[in-house]
């Protein structure tokens, strides 16, 4: 054959494969997107890299066990054909139209055979969706190799070359492996089904134990590769039928095996979902990797959609077509078929509506009731000048002392760690620093950092100090921000928030992922202190927002201004410990005032609604989707403050300008904690109108508004009197530290690196 002829044949085969891939995506796009969305997010998104890096931290061997188990279950949810739908449709149409059941032979085995044809096809037009079910674990293995051997050949090839290499290896090794297995009879094969599953478990255990006890992770990864190859060969083997089984008996034999497999997968997924619920209630869900949560929930959605939507739709159409030759049957079945289709469409519409438009969970702001004589009232807040004058006297400051105002930029755990580590380190270096910090204005993640820092300082003022292992700023805040807050967010977003909205109430409000995020933050903070201080810690973190600024605690802590935004109007809202007026925060909603006015109780009750500090902090760091948008009566739903202005400089400017105007005899120092670039003059040309549209949506609040207020602050500084410093998160080459990703889950090593960038 000439080279030209060979190339023509090869090119024709390539085009054929590409056409089949496109046809496969067109036929099964929903499943492919579901199973690949999270693995590819791990690859492309910075937070995904931290999730992978987290597994390399000490003591994560058992997480590897659950991750591999979840990938196997995800594989089965795609591989298994929904036999329960066959039983359900056979029973339903048997009851509604028994004559059709007799004519069409609508037993479950017959319907199962139709599903096999639909799900797997003939292999020529498109690839069976089950051929893609191993892709998630292949991507996961690649990510581990990329992290363990960053300069390896696999890293250079990239994930989209690694996938075909592993797929080809799986294709050829399945013949080698199955040829070693004696092909005796169906009874032997039935025994081998369970023996083969035992081999899966052994390989998962070996991978986990090697990961746990050896620093060199390559051996563990090697067993994961073997697990992939074995899984591929195992399913190729069990799908083949013994030679003595006739063609007529093939479908019942496959149905029996398939039903066992499908039922087992459903039971395991339901049990694991129950385990997630138990771990959430006991505040232990953070011990599980987000990969486990995502895999199990994606598997659940595939099972649910297959069982209740896709398979019934396919089977009803199959029955309808089968009655086409019998006009009487078609007439009697037509009404049933159309009603069934209508119910299915309405059901899907309702599912979409309650999932994305009007969810069962209202996400009301967390609140609690307190005795009216022990409660806080917004009327009793002093105005800014009254509080400032009292604070100056309490701290015994003079005109020679510099008053510090702090602004914190948003940026998830990175922002929280950067603000808290910097300011706490400064406080350790300069014992007067804490006493000169008058106010903090924070947004998003920096609000969490300020909250943790202020509570630490407050407890220190009462003589309560962390355990010896956490006395340094690095170890204290590293423990808080290496905590896994992401798993509870995934669990709430993708599953549990809906059910909590239906049946579960705590203290008179619906719990949601924000509630459990708050609980996780309290748990992470409390773990750093001896258990004897648990009551003081809970009182500090979970009492009313004004607890730290009134009565006996007045002047102990810097004023804490929490910035958030309204999803309905886009307005800025502030939780302010001082009374607002038309000349101070004139563009912002006084959120504490609105809360108390609209969340009231009858005077006869003797009770008053209070807003926990930790819940107020959550209003500012409600990053889209990862957190819920809590609803405050009379105001609306509150979203991450960075969606309005992302540095806290707007509020800081208004504070500084007011104090400079009415108390000009004092010197002021503005400290801006920045963890990402805010300069708009370093942008590159983007030719795409599509990309430009989406970039502008985020650029306006995150850089445009921030740059505006930072510039106003700089211009308002009085030369020779006031000054402003920007503590930027720059690496050792004085470039923005892009190696510390955005998100709410950071590894201890990333936090060590972040701390090393602190410069004084």
Tell me what the mean pLDDT of segment 206-215 comes to: 90
Specify whether the CB–CB gap between 521 and 417 falls below 8 A. no
| Single residue among 289, 310, 342 that ends a domain in this structure | 289
Q: Is the pLDDT of residue 89 over 80?
A: yes
Tell me what the mean pLDDT of segment 708-723 comes to: 93
User: Tokens in use for 357?
Assistant: 């438009």
Distance CA 441, CA 652 (A): 6
Specify whether the CB–CB gap between 760 and 426 falls below 8 A. yes
**Domain-located, residue 345:** no
| Single residue among 258, 289, 320 that ends a domain in this structure | 289
| Cα 619–Cα 669–Cα 399 angle in degrees, nearest 5 | 120
Distance CA 745, CA 483 (A): 7
Q: Is the pLDDT of residue 426 over 70?
A: yes
Among the listed residues 709, 514, 496, the one whose alpha carbon sits nearest the alpha carbon of residue 617? 514
Distance CA 181, CA 185 (A): 12
Task: Specify the pLDDT at position 123.
Answer: 61
Say how many domains are in the chain. 2
Which residues lie closer than 8 Å to 133 by C-beta, 6 or more apart? Answer: 35, 74, 75, 78, 79
Specify whether the CB–CB gap between 564 and 598 falls below 8 A. no
Task: Specify the pLDDT at position 191.
Answer: 63
Task: Specify the pLDDT at position 155.
Answer: 63
Please list, residue by residue across 507-540, b when 16 or more beta carbons sit within 10 angstroms of its beta carbon and e when fewer do: eebbbbbbbbbbbbbbebbeebbeeebeeebeeb
Comparing 99-103, 163-167, 255-259, 576-580, the range with the smallest average pLDDT is 99-103
Task: Specify the pLDDT at position 681.
Answer: 59
Q: For 374-413, write each residue's pLDDT tens digit.
A: 899 999 999 999 999 999 999 999 999 999 999 999 999 9
Q: Is the pLDDT of residue 58 over 70?
A: yes
Task: Specify the pLDDT at position 332.
Answer: 62
Q: Is the pLDDT of residue 158 over 90?
A: no
Distance CA 534, CA 487 (A): 25
Indicate if 407 and 265 belong to the same structural domain: no
Comparing 83-87, 142-146, 183-187, 211-215, the range with the smallest average pLDDT is 183-187
Q: Is the pLDDT of residue 691 over 90?
A: no
Task: Specify the pLDDT at position 509.
Answer: 67
Tell me what the mean pLDDT of segment 655-663 comes to: 96
Distance CA 484, CA 290 (A): 8
Tell me what the mean pLDDT of segment 640-655 comes to: 94
Q: Is the pLDDT of residue 151 over 50?
A: yes
Task: Specify the pLDDT at position 243.
Answer: 46
**Domain-located, residue 102:** no
Q: How many of the other CB atoms lie within 10 Å of CB of 59?
A: 8
Q: Can you say whether the dihedral through the CA atoms of 579, 582, 586, 590 is positive or negative?
A: positive
Indicate if 482 and 621 belong to the same structural domain: yes
Tell me what the mean pLDDT of segment 246-251 comes to: 59
Q: For 304-326, write each residue's pLDDT tens digit.
A: 988 888 888 888 888 777 766 55
Task: Specify the pLDDT at position 724.
Answer: 96
Distance CA 706, CA 696 (A): 14
Indicate if 593 and 449 belong to the same structural domain: yes
| Single residue among 289, 304, 327 that ends a domain in this structure | 289
| 3-state DSSP percent of the chain in helix, strand and coil, to 5 | 65, 10, 25
**Domain-located, residue 160:** yes
Bridge partner list, 727: 673
User: Tokens in use for 550?
Assistant: 């009134």
DSSP 369: E
Indicate if 657 and 532 belong to the same structural domain: yes
**Domain-located, residue 740:** yes
Q: What is the CATH number of the domain that holds 643?
A: 3.40.1090
Tell me what the mean pLDDT of segment 111-139 comes to: 80
Specify whether the CB–CB gap between 671 and 637 falls below 8 A. no
Q: Is the pLDDT of residue 710 over 60?
A: yes
**What pTM does this model have?**
0.90
Q: How far apart are the first and last CA of the chain?
A: 74
Indicate if 504 and 637 belong to the same structural domain: yes
Task: Specify the pLDDT at position 458.
Answer: 97
Task: Specify the pLDDT at position 118.
Answer: 80
DSSP character string of 474-492:
HHHHHHHHTS--HHHHHHI
Higher-confidence residue: 94 or 479? 479
Specify whether the CB–CB gap between 184 and 243 falls below 8 A. no
**Domain-located, residue 720:** yes
For 334-469, list the strands marked E by DSSP: 368-371, 402-408, 437-443
**Domain-located, residue 338:** no
Residue-number span of the structural domain to which 22 is assigned: 3-83+111-289
Among the listed residues 299, 286, 376, the one whose alpha carbon sits nearest the alpha carbon of residue 575? 376
**Domain-located, residue 318:** no
User: Please, what is the average pLDDT of the chain?
Assistant: 86
Q: Is the pLDDT of residue 291 over 90?
A: yes
- Please report which confidence band the pLDDT of residue 190 belongs to, taking 50, 70 and 90 as the band edges: low
Task: Specify the pLDDT at position 41.
Answer: 83
**Domain-located, residue 30:** yes
Task: Specify the pLDDT at position 193.
Answer: 72
Higher-confidence residue: 509 or 646? 646
Higher-confidence residue: 237 or 480? 480
Task: Specify the pLDDT at position 515.
Answer: 94
Q: For 323-360, write each residue's pLDDT tens digit.
A: 665 555 556 666 777 777 787 778 777 777 766 666 77
Distance CA 450, CA 455 (A): 8
Comparing 89-93, 152-156, 456-460, the range with the smallest average pLDDT is 152-156
């Amino acid at each position: 054959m000439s080279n030209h002829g060979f190339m023509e044949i090869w090119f024709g085969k390539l085009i054929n494969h590409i056409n089949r891939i496109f046809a496969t995506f067109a036929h099964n796009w929903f499943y492919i997107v579901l199973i690949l969305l999270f693995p590819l997010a791990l690859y492309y998104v910075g937070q995904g890299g931290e999730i992978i890096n987290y597994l390399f931290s000490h003591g994560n061997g058992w997480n590897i066990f659950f991750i591999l188990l979840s990938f196997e279950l995800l594989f089965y949810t795609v591989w298994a054909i929904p036999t329960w739908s066959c039983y359900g449709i056979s029973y339903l149409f048997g009851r509604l139209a028994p004559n059709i059941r007799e004519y069409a032979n609508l037993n479950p085995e017959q319907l199962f055979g139709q599903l096999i044809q639909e799900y797997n096809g003939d292999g020529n037009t498109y690839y069976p969706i089950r051929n893609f079910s191993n892709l998630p674990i292949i991507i996961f293995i690649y990510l581990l190799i990329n992290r363990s051997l960053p300069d390896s050949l696999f890293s250079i090839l990239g994930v989209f070359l690694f996938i075909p290499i592993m797929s080809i290896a799986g294709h050829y090794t399945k013949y080698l492996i199955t040829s070693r297995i004696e092909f005796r009879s169906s009874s032997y094969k039935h025994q081998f089904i369970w023996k083969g599953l035992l081999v899966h478990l052994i390989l998962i255990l070996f991978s986990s134990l090697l990961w746990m006890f050896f620093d060199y992770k390559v051996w563990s990864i090697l067993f994961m590769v073997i697990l992939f190859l074995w899984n591929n060969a195992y399913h190729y083997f069990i799908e083949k039928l013994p030679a003595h089984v006739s063609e007529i008996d093939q479908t019942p034999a496959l149905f029996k095996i398939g039903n066992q497999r499908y039922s087992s997968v459903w039971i395991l997924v339901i049990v694991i979902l129950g385990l997630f619920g138990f771990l959430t209630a006991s505040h232990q869900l953070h011990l599980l990797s987000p990969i486990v949560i995502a895999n199990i929930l994606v598997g659940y959605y595939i099972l649910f959609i297959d069982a209740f939507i896709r398979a019934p739709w396919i089977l009803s159409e199959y029955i309808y077509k089968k009655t086409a030759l019998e006009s009487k049957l078609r007439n009697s079945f037509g009404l049933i078929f159309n009603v069934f289709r209508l119910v299915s469409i309405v059901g899907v519409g309702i599912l979409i509506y309650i999932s994305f438009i009007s969810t069962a969970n209202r996400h009301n702001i967390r609140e609690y009731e307190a005795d009216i004589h022990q409660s806080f009232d917004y009327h009793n807040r002093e105005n800014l000048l009254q509080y400032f004058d009292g604070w100056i006297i309490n701290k015994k400051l003079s005109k020679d002392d510099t008053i510090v105002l702090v602004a914190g930029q948003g940026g998830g755990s990175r922002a929280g760690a950067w603000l808290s580590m910097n300011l706490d380190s400064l406080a350790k270096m300069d014992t007067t620093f804490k006493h000169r910090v008058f106010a903090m204005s924070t947004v998003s993640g920096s609000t969490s950092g300020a909250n943790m820092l202020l509570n630490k300082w407050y407890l220190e003022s009462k003589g309560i100090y962390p355990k010896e292992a956490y006395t340094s700023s690095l170890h204290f805040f590293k423990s808080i921000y290496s905590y896994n807050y992401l798993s509870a967010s995934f669990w709430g977003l993708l599953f549990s928030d809906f059910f909590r909205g239906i049946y579960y109430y705590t203290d008179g409000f619906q719990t949601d992922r924000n509630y459990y995020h708050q609980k996780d933050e309290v748990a992470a903070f409390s773990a750093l202190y001896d258990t004897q201080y648990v009551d003081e810690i809970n009182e500090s973190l979970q009492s009313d927002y004004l607890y730290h600024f009134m009565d006996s605690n007045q002047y102990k802590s810097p004023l804490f201004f929490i910035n958030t935004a309204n999803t309905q109007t886009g307005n800025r809202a502030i939780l302010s410990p001082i009374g607002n007026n038309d000349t101070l925060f004139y563009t912002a909603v006084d959120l504490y005032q609105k809360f108390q006015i609209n969340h009231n109780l009858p005077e006869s009750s003797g009770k008053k609604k209070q807003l926990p500090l930790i819940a107020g902090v959550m209003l500012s760091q409600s990053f889209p989707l990862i957190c819920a948008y809590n609803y405050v009566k009379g105001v609306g739903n509150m979203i991450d403050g960075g969606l309005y202005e992302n540095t806290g400089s707007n509020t800081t400017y208004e504070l500084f300008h007011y104090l400079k105007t009415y108390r000009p005899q004092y010197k002021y120092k503005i400290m801006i904690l920045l963890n990402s670039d805010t300069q708009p003059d370093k942008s590159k040309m983007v030719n795409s109108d599509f990309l430009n549209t989406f970039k502008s949506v985020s650029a306006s609040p995150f850089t445009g508004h921030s740059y505006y207020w930072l510039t106003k602050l700089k211009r308002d500084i009085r030369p020779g009197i006031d000054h402003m410093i920007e503590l930027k998160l720059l690496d050792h080459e004085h470039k923005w530290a892009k190696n510390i990703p955005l998100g709410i889950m950071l590894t201890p090593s990333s936090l060590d690196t972040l701390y090393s960038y602190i410069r004084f």
